[in-house]
């Protein structure tokens, strides 16, 4: 499969700042649908293997010093995509993807073109180097545990289902794949059959305009007696990881903004939430004995208002968002009670490069 139309741009090195700026300019008109990759680029934390892959020429040929801001207009009649790719963080998300068809009408002619560029993109991934994961020490220790862990979460998925892709270097984890792109990848036959179950679960994408939707919403002030606000530290991460099936590692948790509500007697957290690498509401949790007291609403509101300064831009709406597995009525209700709107659905998918010849 020819991949000459696919171009790869490193996100480390002297030109990386220019590359990120151009990509953000292209993605900005597609907000909020492009939020996951837009915010992932804003967050930073790029490694040697971190690249941007696209079928757009992000710079005029031979002009690496030029920042072009009219790329969307130059390609408005043709489908295009931008993908953030980094295999350094396995077993965590390796690909954040946006396709222009996720916000635009698709003609029959475009359908064939989309199939073609998605095929070319997946083939191009096969040629990327496979770096040692920054979590390799954890992977080595956890692989055997994963094989034995059959405990299911509310969606009927075990930790081994979520993390099973780490056993096969050909399987890549794509995060927050839009509902319009998911069936195309499925039809093209690139989804891993053995790891497909864990990713086939749809997630609502709830979006908030922080200044508008949370206007008038108050955190619990004061918190119920015996509780206090604080932030989680490394010593609390094992507890956080034990409450989720998602393989998010301590090295990642350590760089994510977070908030916790602590028991003043035990000095242990009873509720917590993080701002993810893509700025989404992540790992929101309330211990069972403290549920029904409004802690989830309080911590979500405070997190959005106080821990997302990295992502706010002048003259742009301050948007916050989070994912909720379809069918999780309690979480859906909490999001709606704060003014969140479910705008589209996304999936976490395992793409099998072993299908690429």
Q: Confidence band (pLDDT; 50, 70, 90) for 90?
A: confident
Domain count, the chain: 1
pLDDT category of residue 73 using cuts at 50, 70 and 90? very low
Average pLDDT over residues 45-55: 95
Tell me which of 4-13, 45-54, 71-80, 97-106 is least confident: 71-80
The answer, yes or no, to whether residue 269 has pLDDT greater than 60, is yes
Single out the residue of 183, 173, 211 nearest to residue 114, CA to CA: 183
pLDDT, tens digit (0-9, with 9 covering 90-100), for 303-338:
999 999 999 999 999 999 999 999 999 999 999 999
Per-residue pLDDT band at 133 (split at 50, 70, 90): confident
- The CA–CA distances, whole Å, from 292 to 50, 223, 339 equal 42, 13, 19
Looking at the domain assignment, is residue 263 inside a domain? Answer: yes
**pLDDT surpassing 70 at residue 75:** no
**b or e along 13-48 (b: 16 or more beta carbons within 10 Å of the residue's beta carbon)?**
eeebebbbebbbbbbeebebbbbbbbbbbbbeebee
Q: Domain for residue 73, yes or no?
A: no
Distance CA 29, CA 132 (A): 36
- Contact (CB, 8 A) for 7 and 55: yes
Residue 350 falls within a domain, yes or no?
no
Contact present, 275 and 303 (Cβ < 8 Å): yes
Structural domain includes residue 331: yes
Please report, for the domain that includes residue 259, its CATH number.
3.40.630.30
Confidence of residue 67 (pLDDT cuts 50, 70, 90): very low
- Indicate the pairing of strand 95-99 with strand 171-178: parallel
Q: For 200-225, what is the mean pLDDT?
A: 86
**Could you give the CA distance from residue 223 to residue 292 in angstroms, rounded to a whole number?**
13
Whole-prediction pTM:
0.89
Q: Which carries the bigger pLDDT value, residue 87 or residue 109?
A: 87
Model confidence at 231, pLDDT cuts 50, 70, 90, reads: very high
Q: Print the domain residue range for 224.
A: 207-345
Question: Residue 305 has what pLDDT?
Answer: 94
In a domain, residue 266? The reply is yes
Per-residue pLDDT, 72: 47
pLDDT value at residue 136: 75
Q: Does 306 reside within a domain?
A: yes
Top pLDDT among 132 and 47 is at: 47
Residue 24, H or E segment: helix 16-27
Q: What's the pLDDT at 263? A: 97
The whole-number pLDDT of residue 2 equals 44
Packing angle of the helix pair 295-306, 329-337 (nearest 10 deg): 50
Count Cβ atoms below 10 Å from residue 107 Cβ, excluding itself.
11
Q: Which two tokens stand for residue 52?
A: 């941007």
- Residue 5's pLDDT band, with cuts at 50, 70 and 90, is confident
pLDDT band at 42 (very low <50, low <70, confident <90, very high): very high
CA distances from 290 to 100, 267, 286, 293, 324 (A): 43, 15, 6, 6, 20
Confidence category of residue 230, pLDDT binned at 50, 70, 90: very high
In percent, the amount of the chain with pLDDT more than 70 equals: 83
* Inside any domain, residue 85: no
pLDDT of residue 61: 47
In a domain, 162, yes or no: no
Q: How many other CB atoms are found less than 10 A from the CB of residue 5?
A: 15
| Summary mean pLDDT of the chain | 86
Residue range 47-65: average pLDDT? 78
Q: What is the mean pLDDT of residues 41-45?
A: 96
């Amino acid at each position: 499969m020819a991949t000459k139309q696919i171009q790869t741009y490193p996100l480390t090195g002297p030109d990386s700042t220019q590359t990120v700026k151009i990509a953000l300019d292209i993605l900005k008109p597609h907000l909020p649908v492009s939020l996951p990759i837009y915010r992932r680029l804003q967050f930073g934390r790029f490694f040697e293997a971190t690249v941007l892959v696209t079928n757009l020429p992000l710079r005029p040929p031979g002009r690496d010093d030029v920042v072009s801001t009219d790329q969307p207009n130059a390609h408005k009649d043709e489908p295009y995509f931008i993908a953030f790719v980094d295999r350094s963080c396995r077993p965590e998300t390796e690909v954040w993807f946006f396709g222009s068809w996720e916000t635009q009408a698709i003609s029959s002619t475009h359908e064939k073109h989309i199939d073609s560029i998605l095929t070319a993109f997946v083939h191009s991934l096969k040629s990327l180097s496979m770096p040692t994961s920054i979590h390799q020490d954890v992977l080595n220790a956890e692989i055997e545990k994963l094989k034995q862990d059959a405990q299911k979460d509310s969606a009927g998925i075990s930790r081994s289902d979520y993390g099973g892709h780490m056993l096969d270097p050909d399987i890549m984890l794509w995060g927050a794949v839009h509902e319009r792109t998911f069936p195309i990848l499925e039809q093209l036959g690139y989804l891993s059959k053995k790891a497909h179950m864990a990713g086939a679960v749809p997630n609502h994408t709830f979006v908030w305009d922080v200044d508008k939707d949370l206007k008038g919403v108050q955190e619990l002030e004061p918190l119920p007696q015996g509780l206090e606000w604080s932030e989680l530290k490394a010593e609390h991460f094992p507890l956080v990881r034990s409450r989720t099936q998602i393989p998010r590692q301590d090295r990642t948790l350590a760089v994510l903004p977070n908030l916790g509500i602590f028991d003043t007697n035990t000095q242990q957290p009873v509720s917590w939430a993080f701002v993810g690498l893509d700025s989404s509401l992540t790992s929101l949790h309330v211990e069972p004995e403290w549920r029904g007291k409004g802690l989830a609403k309080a911590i979500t509101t405070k997190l959005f208002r106080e821990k997302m300064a990295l992502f706010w831009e002048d003259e742009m709406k301050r948007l916050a968002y989070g994912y909720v597995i379809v069918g999780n009525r309690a979480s859906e209700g909490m999001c709606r009670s704060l003014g969140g709107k479910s705008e589209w659905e996304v999936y976490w998918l395992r793409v099998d490069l072993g299908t690429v010849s």
